[in-house]
Structure 1
Amino acid sequence: MKKKIGLLLAVSAMLISVVGCGNNNNKSSGSGDGGSAAEKDSYKIAVSQIVEHPSLDATREGFLAALKDAGIIEKENLTLDYNNAQGDQNNNNTIAQKIAGEKYDLVLAIATPTAQAIVQNVKDSPILFAAVTDPIDAKLIDNLDKPGGNISGASDTNPEAISKLMDFLAENVKDVKNVGIVLNQGEPNAVIMADYAEKALEKHGIKLVKASVTNTSEVKQAAESLVGRVDAIYITLDNTVVEAVSTIIQVANENDLPFFSSDRDSVEKGAFATVGFKYYDHGYQVGQMAVEVLKNGKKVGDMKVTVPEKLDLILNLKAAAEQGIEVTDAMKDQVNDKENNILE
């Protein structure tokens, strides 16, 4: 009888051991392709951002909000490693190398130069990018629908937005012949958008006049160099330029030059108009992609790259008054969401 009891206890111990091992296997640490077997108790995410300015900051905030809504909360079950290169490419590369040397459940790269550095260095963690104009031209991926490897994300540029904005400019700036652009030719995303704008303006017989800069400190002087030569000013999602957008607003206001931007945040600061979206929403969209990777085991390389879809004309009426623009009812009628996108 004692032998039978001893045998039953041994079998029971073995079964408990097997069940215990099975439960431990459900908590996967994830893999470089973005897949994971099951939800984890905690997460570690690295964020790299090229520079601080409202659009990129809003992107990060939206990303974190999406994670929070899915129960991934900083200082509770999320360890966040936030890095800012302060607009310096050497810092950018150093940050990417540092991130590559550690293990993360996911890496978020905000802006094109950041994403390029991260992709070149990080091979073992899933990567999502945001605020990237053209991920194919930037050589981040070669297929928007199925990027493959350990990367995907969201582009912040829909060429249709640039075309619509240039059409609006051509139709509503009186006697416009030349449009000035302050541009860092070293930023591929800015150059691509400038090319889109140039082609759109050519259809109206309008010339794009470029004032080049290499760093933020040159932006005001470049804007001033356009005075007397152009009838309006336009800027792209150029990180170098947007960081100093307040200086362009000052030049535009002092010289009655209509100022058009490619982002809502610059319009909220004092540019007259854009066709765009909220960068917070853009970041939130990328955050939802992150949740799919972290909690649902989605392979990041299988996720389609998205572009902004909720485009609308955004007008700043106070800026219009500062820049000598008469805002007509016909202009306002082109705004779909008048309550949120006509700024008083």
Structure 2
Amino acid sequence: MKKNVFKKITAIVLTLAMTLSLAACASSGTSGGTEQKKLKVGVIQTIENGAFDAMRDGFIQELRDQGYSEEQMEIVVKNAQGDASAMNTIAQEMSDGTYDLVATVATPATQAFVNMKSETPQVFIAVSDPVKAGIVTTMENPDYNATGTSNPIPVAKIIDLSKTMTPVIKTFGIIYNTSEVNSVSTVNKAKEYMTAQGYEIVEAVVTNSSEVKQAIDGLLSQVDAVFIPNDSVIQNAMPTVAEAAKAAKKPVYGSSAVMVNSGALATVAIGDAAIGATSADMAIEILKGKTPAEIPAVAVEATDTVINQTTSDAIGIQISAELSQSATIVE
């Protein structure tokens, strides 16, 4: 009698175990495998502007194009809207180990996440001088668990373009925010090259976008042309800069195609979406098993001349036939 009861109990236990096992297999979608973990990638953006938006979108689109669908990868985008405190909070949230990788757009966001010293791998997008910004010790051997793309501003090419388009320039004005290391680095390179070319230089410094109007008005009264570095504060106020320069009939040479779209006369620039896509390819290598230290950071060369036809007409600058054929002309 006891043996029969024991056999029945054993049979029930075995049946239950098999049922649970089959249910687990069914939920995994395979006969004996486990469900693939959904990846989670964070994107931190310093501020919303055309250049940074294009970089972010290029990064995300490349991930999708390379097969990382919404079912396979969740992408969380957070924008600090230019607020340093908010950016640090976002960086802290994304450094908690719940993300498989974090991408950072431009220098301030990249510095914020590197400073977290997170174990989460990081890929940065368009940092003009990663070494001076303290993001990597060398481009060839990235450390701090971060690698990515650099967009060094082609100062010499931009100034040489100004010689072609506006050869009468003798004095250059530069307006920038000293708290952005990327901006300061570019300004120093610009001043060095301008001085070597015989230009006089006048500087105007701002701390926020509300100071730009007064600063640019004062600067335009002293110079023949203005150079704008890769500065998020000035870029955010480019319509103000462009309108003041048009009224003064003086050219503004920017550091990105977005600045030209916003009214600057011209630049030599890097494709923003393309540099985002390049960073995404590096991110994919990390997601497949490499560490950031195994992937050298790369500088993406600027090759695209961009000219604003409306601005050119407004300040009386004639675009040569040669430039019309080789440059991208925007309205």
Output the TM-score relative to the length of structure 1.
0.83
Compute the displacement of 1:274 (Å). 0.4
Mapping of residues 4-153 of structure 1, within 5 Å: 41-74=37-70, 76-153=71-148
Deviations 1:61-90 (A, max 9, x none): 00001100111134x222222211111111
* Partners of 2:304 and 2:105 in 1: CA distance: 23
Counterparts of 1:1-344 in structure 2 under 5 Å? 41-74=37-70, 76-158=71-153, 161-294=154-287, 296-309=288-301, 311-332=303-324, 335=326, 338=327, 341-344=328-331
Q: Tell me the alpha carbon deviations over residues 245-270 of structure 1, each in whole angstroms, 9 at most, x when there is no partner.
A: 11111111111111110001111222
**1:212-246 C-alpha deviation (Å, 9 max, x unpaired):** 11011111221111122010111011011101111
Q: Which amino acid aligns with 1:238?
A: D
Superposed displacement of residue 197, structure 1: 1.0
Task: Read off the aligned partner of 1:77 and give its amino acid letter.
Answer: Q
Sequence identity, in percent? 33
TM-score (norm 2): 0.86
Instruction: Work out which structure has the larger RCO, using CA pairs closer than 8 Å and 6 or more positions apart in sequence.
Output: 1
Instruction: Give, in whole Å, the separation in 1 of the partners of 2:192 and 2:259.
Output: 23
Aligned counterparts of 2:164 and 2:277: Cα–Cα separation in 1: 34
- 1:193 Cα offset (Å): 0.5
1:137 CA drift (Å): 0.3
Contact 1:103 1:124 (C-alpha < 8 Å) held by counterparts: no
Question: Post-superposition shift, 1:131?
Answer: 2.1
Shift of 1:329: 2.4
Residue identity in the other structure for 1:133: S
Which aligned segments of 4 or more residues in structure 1 are displaced greater than 4 angstroms? Answer: none
Q: Distance in 2 between matches of 1:139 and 1:215?
A: 23
Answer yes or no: is the 8 Å Cα contact 1:176–1:231 preserved in 2: yes
In 2, the alpha carbon distance for the partners of 1:138 and 1:292 equals 24
Q: Give the conservation status (yes or no) of the 8 Å contact 2:43–2:75.
A: yes
Contact preservation (8 Å) 2:47, 2:82: yes
CA contact (8 A) 1:198 1:207 kept: no
Letter in 1 for 2:223: V
- Asked whether the equivalents of residues 268 and 302 of structure 2 are also in contact (C-alpha less than 8 Å), the reply is no
Per the alignment, in what secondary structure is the counterpart of residue 126 of structure 2?
strand
The gaps in structure 2 that reach 5 residues or longer are 1-17, 22-29
Aligned length: 307
SS in 2 for 1:175: coil
The answer (yes or no) to whether the contact 1:99–1:122 under 8 Å persists in 2 is no
- The superposition leaves residues 39-74 of structure 1 with CA deviations (integer Å, 9 ceiling, x where unpaired) of x54210111111111100100000001100111134
C-alpha separation in 1, matches of 2:205 and 2:144 = 36
Amino acid at match of 1:342: I
* Partner amino acid, structure 1, of 2:181: P
Shift of 1:110: 1.0
**Matched position secondary structure for 2:88:** helix
Secondary structure of the corresponding residue to residue 299 of structure 2? coil
Would you say the 8 A contact 2:136–2:142 is kept in 1?
yes
Stretch deviating more after TM superposition (89-98 or 178-187): 89-98
C-alpha separation between the residues in 1 aligned to 2:45 and 2:302? 24
